[in-house]
Structure 1
Amino acid sequence: MNRVNSIRVETGAWVCFDHPDFKGQQYILEKGEYPEFQRWNAHNDHMGSCKPIKMHGEQYRMELFEEPNFTGQCVELCDDCPFLQSTGISQNCLNSVKVYGDGAWVMYEEPNYRGRMYILERGNYGSFMEWQAENPNIQSIRKVVNYF
């Protein structure tokens, strides 16, 4: 089955992809009902793979770097950020990220949590390609809130 028109998530948070093998555009699905594909920010009804987002607790922290390999200007986040440039990052570009703590994050290409999204779990991402982005443009970030 690769076409999906409605989803109900009863527990946890999931990252879904529009291609098999966890490739392609990412979508986050948290607890709730999604009666049509537009509700989870999809452009069509294709869904090729899904997996649960690893959540270890409630501690959220990440470091954002303007340059690859954790260089350049750095900003630390512990909470949602609807417009990344308000934190002091001078560009719309994030080229590397370190995710600490227990929680996962969603990064968006547009302000106010809109546009293409990328889900990052605990770990180090030395390049935007490591979170499967086509470019380093990120303008908003929010925590994944897991409701078990």
Structure 2
Amino acid sequence: MSALCFLPPSRLNVTNVFLTIIVFYEGKCFTGRKLEICSDCDNFQDRGFMNRVNSVRVESGAFVCFDHPDFKGQQYILEHGEYPEFQRWNAHNDHMGSCKPIRMHGEHYRMELFEGDNFSGQCVELCDDCPFLQARGLTKNCINSIKVYGDGAWVLYEEPNYRGRMYVVERGNYCTHMEWQAENPNIQSIRRVANYF
């Protein structure tokens, strides 16, 4: 049975108070030792849990998980549901070292994508999922800056049809691709984080 965990008061949105709970398991199919997280966790080892995760159950909320401690390395987006083996969240191995909840404020999605740094160059606005950005009029496959408006979070993918490395962006301004921890500006598909409860 899971313990109730609440976001700290500084992170609560008065109009949308919710629980976020994710449970990591060392073994496949939810077996072995487990670690339950309800908020930011910068290092699983600090909680007595090794960095080997073979299955995950997201009981509520959505999380961005990282294969290294301190919110670094490859990002994985885990939404409400069950993941009986690491391949289900598109990982190549069972390494995972940190995680944090994705901040959702509501259901209104809007973002502007810019080909240049600091919101320069060609711009495209999105309000819904896009499996191939070039179909929306972008002439290149690189996005160097983003403005996220509205309430929801987005997942950026390096390849079309929601494949490849992924990155989460939440409400705010991102002047360069490095601000969402990308090694390069190649983004070819984008989707909303929608499977939240």
Task: Give the TM-score of the pair, scaled to structure 2.
Answer: 0.74
Q: Which amino acid aligns with 2:176?
A: S
Q: Which amino acid aligns with 1:97?
A: I
Residue of structure 2 equivalent to 1:48: 97
Tell me which of 84, 87, 90 is aligned to 1:35. Answer: 84
Higher RCO (C-alpha under 8 Å, 6+ residues apart): 1
Map of 1:96-135 to 2, 5 A cutoff?
A: 96-135=145-184
Task: Could you list the structure 1 runs, at least 4 aligned residues long, displaced by more than 4 angstroms after superposition.
Answer: none
Please list the CA deviations of residues 67-124 of structure 1 after superposition, one character each: whole Å capped at 9, or x if unmatched. 0000000000000000000010100000000000000000000000000000001110
Matched, 1:58 2:107: yes
CA distance, structure 1, for counterparts of residue 161 and residue 139 of structure 2? 18
**Bigger radius of gyration, 1 or 2?**
2
Tell me which of 119, 132, 142 is aligned to 1:83. Answer: 132
Q: Which amino acid aligns with 1:29?
A: L
Q: Which amino acid aligns with 2:171?
A: R
CA RMSD of aligned residues (A): 0.6
SS in structure 2 opposite 1:2? coil
Residue of structure 1 equivalent to 2:66: 17
User: Where does structure 2 lack aligned partners over 5 or more consecutive residues?
Assistant: 1-49
CA distance, structure 2, for counterparts of residue 126 and residue 62 of structure 1? 13
SS in structure 2 opposite 1:79? coil
User: Where does structure 1 lack aligned partners over 5 or more consecutive residues?
Assistant: none
Q: Which amino acid aligns with 1:113?
A: Y
Instruction: Give 1:53 deviation, angstroms.
Output: 0.2
Residue of structure 1 equivalent to 2:33: none
Residue of structure 2 equivalent to 1:74: 123
Query: Are the counterparts in 2 of residues 12 and 52 from structure 1 also a CA contact under 8 Å?
Result: yes
Residue of structure 2 equivalent to 1:5: 54
Q: Which amino acid aligns with 2:76?
A: Y
SS in structure 2 opposite 1:130? helix
Identity across aligned pairs (percent)? 84
Instruction: Give 1:146 deviation, angstroms.
Output: 4.2
SS in structure 2 opposite 1:75? strand
Query: Are the counterparts in 2 of residues 107 and 142 from structure 1 also a CA contact under 8 Å?
Result: yes
